[in-house]
Structure 1
Amino acid sequence: MSKFDRYILSQLLTMFGFFALVLVSVYWVNRAVVLFDQLIASGQTASVFLELTILSLPNLIRLVLPMAVFAATIYVINRLNSESELTVMQATGISPWRLARPVFYFGMLVALMMTALTHFLVPASLVQLSERKKEITENVTARLLTEGTFLHPASGITFYIREITPAGVLKDVFLSDKRSKSKTTSYTAAEAFLVQDETGAKLVMLDGLAQTLDNRDNRLITTNFSDFSYDISALMEKDGSRKKEIKHLNTIPLMFKSHLVSEDTGIDRGRILYEAHGRVSQAFTCIVFSLVGFSVLLLGGYSRFGVWRQIIIGFVLLIFLEMMKSAFVDPVRDDATLWPLVYVPALAGALLVTGMLCFAANPFNQPRQVDPL
């Protein structure tokens, strides 16, 4: 690799890191707010929030890599052009194809990152994330044993504990059950215990009062009790019957053993092959996006108004490629034999890049437009 290639590549990688960090931060903040509210409402700690956030990062990074590649390429090439470095290189006789080489290297490096993410890191992190969420859901103590906070472990359920003693005694417990449309039942108890038996988790309340409000005629029925057992196992979501998700599986069985995966998961073979080949095509997308950003900036001449027109053209081309990608989703999922269509957007992008570089390399067919002074 020549010094010129290393120079351009180093700038591209630096700005790529910057734009990737910014985009990941924006996406992460939007998702973290929702996740934080859910965890706090369930009585989870900040460490659980941090753990789930880290596990969700690989999939988040996968989403922003293509746009970070395009943004970094546009920024670096535009800066080189404005500082006349690119103009000097072109004046020495270097062709657009030669200038595109470090950009191609840059796209290849990001494609390798995307490959590692889509084939290894993202499936592994999603599996761990799913298992961790399942453990949190099934952990009764983590969801209910929180002092001084009104918790909502399930829809229509409100739970409150004033104090938890070192011996595990729950003081001044309040439980409201509004899951039934016809009645609302509220329990208050001076003390309570959480116990586990073969039938599930139970909340044993002592010295309390049960109030049942009939919503049909607004009658209130009160019952005093010395001890009462409430089954809270129904408050926990049951994940045992959940089907396996193909996004959690490795690419090799999805691509080469799709029949077996389809029989095991009950998912159509077209969806399985779309997931497998979609992971491969995402790496090519990174290369195409970088070259599209480079090529569109070579098409315009000098302008006092900058290169915003070329940047808009680049965005339009990316939107066109994404629309093409979306158009092939349903056909491939419905018919597994159409899986080659997954690679058509990347191929179309490569043809667009080839056409733009050929156009930029032929000065006779491309008169450079210069704004009048």
Structure 2
Amino acid sequence: MKLLARYLLKELVIPLGVWVAFLFLLLFVMQFLRGTDVLLGSAVTLQDMGQLLLYLAPHFLMMALPIAFLLAILLGLGRLSEDRELTALQALGIGPVQLLAGPLAIGAVLAGLMLLLTSTAEPWGLTSVKGFVAEIIKKNVVGDVKSGVFYEDLSNLTLYAETVEGEERRWTNVLLYDDREPSSPLLMLAHNGQVNTNTSGQVLTLVLGDGEAHRANQTSSAYSVVTFQKGEIAVGVEGSMGRRNRFRSPKEELTPVELLQAADEAERTGGDARPFLMALHNRVGHALAPLSFALLGTPLAIGRRQGGRAWGYLFTLGGYVLFYLLMRLFEQMGQQGKLPVPLAGQLANILFCAAGVVAMYRVNRSGTVR
């Protein structure tokens, strides 16, 4: 039995590693394409890309591990079924139920790993990447402002500098048009200026010197002019840059303890605690998905007909999409109070486990020969 266990583990672990690597790379490429306006800026280096990958790795693993595990079961046990090895094992008295132990063991390990990731590394990574991308955007502004070219990547702000000089990228003869308040736009003209990148958080500061500010009121004929020696314009990176920082979801940045604290705070202030509790239970449900996938995927793989690999992959991907849709559906029902929050977080797993038990019962009765 130990030899059989090692053989089955080899058949599952190798394709699992291949699928995780493939899906991890695919997710990173998709995220990269979504953020090309940030990640292809003039200030981005290979070190920045590596740091970004480190921050996003826990989130990508949380997304890749369940479907990679389901595909590994299909590929590993499915090959044994197609090569009639499962028929030989059945002739030796080893039935489908005994083959379930290996996938369940790997599923338990993956579930434990995902619970650890979603409780610690994933919130840390998503929180870190928000500030990291904000800093990249700030550095891009410094490098992307060119002499004699209008810079319009800042939403509702237009910047022009006659010359950009030195390593500190100082500007001379600067024009800044601020249309963030359409009813009273602001025009600033200055002899010099530059970007202050030493600010923390989601704020970028444009520092202008020796100039004047013109403000017009569209609802009246009022027009004001103010001269200044030094003026600063604060720009919110996240809100004022066309939503270029798209690398996080707010509740995913919170640890389970922080979600419980937020729920408690919402209850004490008369708010709705369900969204925070639902986010916590939904996260736990997603982390436990490998167990339900093991229970459902094993009978589907060993009971697959000859030559049905393509249909098997299609069915596997369809099953994962169905699981995701059910998770979102039950999440909405939990937030609306139509289902108890703990049940809503685990109901997709419960349904998949029930389907797996039925499928295993049918395979066990009929055998593995097809």
TM-score band, normalised by shorter chain: 0.7 to 0.9
Give the C-alpha shift of residue 112 in structure 1: 1.9
Structure-1-length-normalised TM-score = 0.75
Matched, 1:325 2:327: yes
Structure-to-structure mapping, 1:347-358, within 5 angstroms: 347-358=350-361
Task: Identify the residue that residue 262 of structure 1 maps to in structure 2.
Answer: 266
Change (3 A) 1:341 1:234: closer
Query: Alpha-carbon deviation of 1:165?
Result: 2.3
Q: Relative to 1, partners in 2 of residues 1:238 and 1:19: Cα closer, same or farther, differing over 3 Å?
A: closer
Moved more, 127-136 or 90-99: 127-136
CA distance in 1, matches of 2:74, 2:160: 55
1:330 maps to a residue whose letter is: Q
Whether the 8 Å contact between 2:20 and 2:68 is mirrored in structure 1 is yes
Report the count of equivalent residues.
Answer: 348
CA distance 1:36–1:367, change in 2 (3 Å): closer
Aligned pairs for 1:77-156 within 5 A: 77-133=77-133, 143-144=141-142, 146=144, 148=146, 151-152=151-152, 154-156=154-156
Distance 1:26 1:79 in 2: 25
- Cα distance, 1:133 vs structure 2: 4.4
Aligned residues of 1:120 and 1:250 also touching (Cα < 8 A): yes
* Rg larger for: 1
Deviation at 1:280, TM superposition (A): 1.8
- Percent identity for Structure 1 against Structure 2: 19
Partner of 1:295: 299
Q: 1:169 to 1:130 in 2, by over 3 A?
A: closer
Residue 220 of structure 1 is matched in structure 2 by none
When normalised by structure 2's length, the TM-score is 0.76
1:95 Cα offset (Å): 0.8
Compare 309-318 and 279-288 and name the one that shifted more: 309-318
Cα-Cα RMSD: 4.1
1:218 aligns with none
Structure 2 SS opposite 1:203: strand
- Point out the more displaced range, 349-358 or 325-334: 325-334
The structure-2 alpha-carbon separation of the partners of 1:263 and 1:169, relative to structure 1 and needing over 3 Å to count, comes to same
Residues 176/67 of structure 1: CA separation in 2 closer, same or farther (3 Å cut): same
Deviates more, 1:152-161 or 1:284-293: 152-161
SS of 1:232's partner is strand
Q: How do 1:1-373 residues align onto structure 2 when only pairs under 5 Å count?
A: 2-40=2-40, 44-46=43-45, 47-133=47-133, 143-144=141-142, 146=144, 148=146, 151-152=151-152, 154-161=154-161, 162-165=163-166, 169-171=170-172, 173-179=174-180, 191-192=192-193, 201=205, 203-205=207-209, 230-234=231-235, 245-252=250-257, 254=259, 259-263=263-267, 268-301=272-305, 303=306, 305-335=307-337, 337-363=340-366
Change in Cα spacing, 1:85 to 1:56, as seen in structure 2 (3 Å) is same
Offset, 1:102? 1.0
Question: Please, which runs of 5 or more residues in structure 2 have no aligned partner?
Answer: 219-224, 241-248
